[in-house]
């Protein structure tokens, strides 16, 4: 075991030693949160505190592999310009020595209360899990208060990722859990002072509310209200692929319905995936001062080809997604890139009334490696419509089959791979392309495809084409200023 200052010093030394290597990577992103070195995974403790947005993240500063996680920290005034802050938490205690795992933050009496999972592998190699509290008065320095919750009877040590929120003068915590029968659940605790917590039971899970065999473990739950609808975001592990669904190693999605806080039950509808792309997991939301519900996810997924990422040889891996504002509209959860992203726009280009058919259309100055592209479909009178981006990435809409597809080049070898979703009509597409990522928002955020892409950076073209007919569209394109 090492002290906080020893661990911090080692981490900062590693950042220093590898600075040049990391900076030399052409795939280093321009407008996403990334680790300075090593591996980043889940967003944690996302909160608006004393006038600033705070984003923490799971971080192994020593390797591009998972390990004893730290909480890295970035601070922002506007959700797009992020400044790296000192390391917030390091695995320096007996109860968190194998990782300060994921968790959340709330503001209480002007202090920042941070809850996280202390991950321990004991001397017999067995996992232990403690839900821990740390408190800060400035949002930068944290004082660890130790475990506030131990694993209750009936559950395994896969018990983690506390998300705390306040409702009607009471504190609630939802946690990801695995029962002794290896069923995934989201369980609830309550507290009046954030220090003493009492177990209330399972809110949802495999074996509840008509769900059967719905994962052996649920990670990173988040429960909030949107326009009078209760939404439980959760990441089940162990779902098998089913048609277009559940094709990534672990899933991330939500249930909507009605929570009964007295009875601790949740009458909900079917699970819906939040993102249709290759690289999205463990999202977390917060409510900001203006009441917006904002979500950020990990632009990655555990074990999903991590060892084949080309960034590994540059000593870093993974990033966070862009922040998205959530809205509930006409029975649908919509995800919009936060409007502050417009601050990064440069060099606007517009083309209106562009007609696209069989022959590929290239528009003047609509190209690049890093850009935002908005396509408004004015008329779709074709069997399909495609946008080709760079070397191998393609957005494709099959109007007959009502299927949307994103395709990218595989991380190694020459093959391509794709993900799909059903979409009844195509109205608009908004694409955020960074050096090695792409986020595609369709029909005002009805569907989103998020993926890393490692393709030839020299190929900067954007092609449009349609099959069996024509498509009329308006196109707007901006360059995006580098802020990393
Ligand atoms: C999700 C997760 C969490 C855990 C963290 C560890 O990606 O496995 O359940 O707290 O990552 O880094």
Looking at residue 331, its pLDDT comes to 87
Alpha-carbon gap, residue 202 to 97, rounded angstroms: 28
Q: How many domains does the chain have?
A: 2
Q: What is the mean pLDDT of the chain?
A: 97
Alpha-carbon gap, residue 124 to 27, rounded angstroms: 41
Alpha-carbon gap, residue 215 to 237, rounded angstroms: 5
Tell which residue, 173, 127, 79, 31, has the closest CA to residue 482.
31
Alpha-carbon gap, residue 421 to 41, rounded angstroms: 25
Question: Domain of 356?
Answer: 339-480
Q: End of a domain among 320, 337, 354? A: 337
Same domain, 231 and 317: yes
- List the CATH number of the domain containing 394: 2.60.120.560
Q: End of a domain among 337, 370, 392? A: 337
Looking at residue 303, its pLDDT comes to 73
Looking at residue 304, its pLDDT comes to 62
Sheet with strand 462-467: strands edge to edge: 416-422, 403-409, 393-398, 384-389, 462-467
Alpha-carbon gap, residue 286 to 79, rounded angstroms: 12
Same domain, 330 and 378: no
Same domain, 363 and 397: yes
Task: Express as a percent the part of the chain with pLDDT over 90.
Answer: 96
Task: Express as a percent the part of the chain with pLDDT over 70.
Answer: 100
Same domain, 137 and 45: yes
One DSSP character per residue, 84-106 reads EEEEEE-S-SGGGTT-EEEEEEE
Same domain, 261 and 383: no
Range from 195-209, 223-237, 299-313 carrying the lowest mean pLDDT: 299-313
Looking at residue 313, its pLDDT comes to 96
Give the strand pairing for 52-60 and 70-76: antiparallel
CA 229-321-23 angle, 5° bins: 165
Tell which residue, 96, 117, 95, has the closest CA to residue 45.
117
How many angstroms is it from 295 CA to the middle of ligand 1? Answer: 17
Tell which residue, 345, 325, 322, has the closest CA to residue 336.
325
Same domain, 369 and 467: yes
CA 266-323-132 angle, 5° bins: 60
Asked if residue 306 has its Cβ within 6 Å of ligand 1, the reply is no
For the segment 219-247, the average pLDDT, to the nearest whole number, is: 97
pLDDT digits (tens, 9 = 90+) for 88-120: 999 999 999 999 999 999 999 999 999 999 999
Asked if pLDDT for residue 215 goes beyond 80, the answer is yes
Pocket mutation for ligand 1, best pick of 38, 58, 96 (most atoms within 8 Å of C-beta): 58
How many angstroms is it from 132 CA to the middle of ligand 1? Answer: 15
Same domain, 264 and 385: no
Q: Which residues lie closer than 8 Å to 431 by C-beta, 6 or more apart?
A: 371, 372, 373, 374, 375, 387, 389, 395, 438, 439, 440, 441
Tell which residue, 266, 190, 270, 280, has the closest CA to residue 235.
280
Alpha-carbon gap, residue 118 to 133, rounded angstroms: 10
Asked if residue 219 has its Cβ within 6 Å of ligand 1, the reply is yes
User: Taking a C-beta distance cutoff of 8 angstroms, is the pair 259, 203 a contact?
Assistant: yes
pLDDT digits (tens, 9 = 90+) for 151-192: 999 999 999 999 999 999 999 999 999 999 999 999 999 999
Asked if pLDDT for residue 1 goes beyond 80, the answer is no
Strands (DSSP E) along 293-415, which ranges?
Answer: 293-298, 316-317, 324-329, 332-337, 345-356, 371-381, 384-389, 393-398, 403-409
Q: Is 7 helix (H, G, I), strand (E, B) or coil?
A: helix
Q: Is 121 helix (H, G, I), strand (E, B) or coil?
A: strand
Same domain, 301 and 446: no
- List the CATH number of the domain containing 134: 2.115.10.20
User: Taking a C-beta distance cutoff of 8 angstroms, is the pair 428, 442 a contact?
Assistant: yes
Alpha-carbon gap, residue 274 to 92, rounded angstroms: 35
Asked if residue 386 has its Cβ within 6 Å of ligand 1, the reply is no
Looking at residue 76, its pLDDT comes to 98
Residues with a known catalytic role: 42
Looking at residue 483, its pLDDT comes to 98
DSSP state of 240: P
CA-to-CA separations, 354 to 59, 232, 339, 473, in angstroms, rounded: 45, 41, 26, 5
Alpha-carbon gap, residue 226 to 231, rounded angstroms: 7
Q: End of a domain among 337, 355, 382? A: 337
pLDDT digits (tens, 9 = 90+) for 277-315: 999 999 999 999 999 999 999 999 987 667 889 999 999
Name the more confident of 331 and 256: 256
Same domain, 379 and 300: no
Asked if residue 42 has its Cβ within 6 Å of ligand 1, the reply is yes
Sheet with strand 293-298: strands edge to edge: 281-287, 293-298, 324-329, 332-337
Asked if pLDDT for residue 380 goes beyond 70, the answer is yes
**What does pTM read for this prediction?**
0.97
Alpha-carbon gap, residue 77 to 265, rounded angstroms: 38
Same domain, 327 and 347: no
Same domain, 331 and 347: no
Asked if residue 69 has its Cβ within 6 Å of ligand 1, the reply is yes
Same domain, 266 and 141: yes
Asked if pLDDT for residue 125 goes beyond 80, the answer is yes
pLDDT digits (tens, 9 = 90+) for 383-426: 999 999 999 999 999 999 999 999 999 998 889 999 999 999 99
For the segment 16-31, the average pLDDT, to the nearest whole number, is: 98
CA-to-CA separations, 134 to 98, 145, 455, in angstroms, rounded: 17, 5, 42
């Amino acid at each position: 075991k090492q002290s906080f200052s020893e661990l911090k010093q080692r981490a900062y030394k590693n950042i220093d030693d590898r600075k040049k290597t990391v900076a030399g990577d052409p795939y280093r992103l321009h407008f996403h949160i990334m680790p300075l070195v090593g591996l980043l995974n889940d967003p944690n403790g996302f909160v608006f505190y004393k006038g600033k947005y705070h984003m923490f993240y799971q971080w192994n500063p020593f390797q591009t592999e998972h390990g004893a996680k730290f909480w890295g920290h970035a601070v922002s005034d506007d959700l797009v310009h992020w400044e790296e802050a000192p390391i917030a938490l390091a695995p320096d205690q007996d109860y968190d020595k194998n990782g300060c795992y994921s968790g959340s933050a709330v503001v209480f009496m002007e202090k920042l209360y941070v809850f996280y999972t202390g991950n321990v592998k004991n001397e017999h190699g067995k996992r232990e899990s403690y839900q821990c509290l740390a408190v800060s008065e400035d949002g930068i320095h944290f004082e660890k208060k130790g475990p506030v919750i131990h694993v209750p009877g009936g559950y395994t040590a896969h018990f983690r990722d506390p998300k705390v929120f306040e409702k009607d003068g009471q504190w609630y915590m939802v946690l990801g859990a695995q029962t002794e029968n290896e069923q995934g659940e989201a369980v609830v605790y309550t507290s009046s002072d954030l220090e003493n917590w009492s177990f209330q039971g399972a809110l949802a899970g495999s074996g509840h509310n008509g769900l059967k065999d719905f994962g052996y473990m649920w990670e990173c739950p988040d429960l909030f209200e949107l326009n009078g609808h209760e939404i439980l975001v959760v990441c089940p592990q162990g779902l098998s692929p089913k048609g277009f669904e559940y094709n990534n190693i672990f899933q991330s999605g939500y249930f909507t319905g009605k929570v009964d806080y007295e009875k601790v039950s949740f009458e909900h509808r079917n699970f819906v995936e939040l993102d249709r792309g290759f690289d999205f997991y463990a999202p977390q939301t917060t409510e900001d001062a203006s009441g917006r519900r904002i979500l950020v996810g990990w632009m990655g997924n555990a074990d999903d080809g991590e060892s084949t990422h080309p960034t590994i040889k540059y000593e870093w891996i993974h990033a966070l997604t862009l922040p998205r504002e959530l809205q509930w509209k006409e029975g649908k959860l919509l995800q919009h890139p936060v409007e502050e992203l417009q601050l990064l726009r440069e060099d606007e280009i517009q083309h209106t009334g562009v007609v696209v058919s069989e022959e590929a259309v290239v528009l003047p100055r609509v190209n690049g490696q890093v850009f935002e592209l908005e396509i408004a479909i004015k008329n779709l009178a074709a069997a399909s419509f495609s946008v080709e981006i760079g070397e191998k990435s393609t957005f494709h809409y099959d109007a007959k089959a009502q299927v949307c597809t994103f395709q990218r080049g595989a991380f190694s070898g020459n093959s391509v791979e794709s993900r799909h979703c059903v979409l009844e009509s195509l109205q608009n597409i908004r694409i955020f392309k960074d050096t090695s990522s792409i986020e595609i928002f369709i029909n005002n955020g009805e569907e989103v495809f998020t993926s890393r892409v490692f393709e030839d950076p020299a190929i900067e073209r954007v092609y449009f084409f349609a099959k069996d007919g024509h498509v009329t569209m308006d196109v707007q394109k901006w360059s995006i200023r580098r802020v990393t």
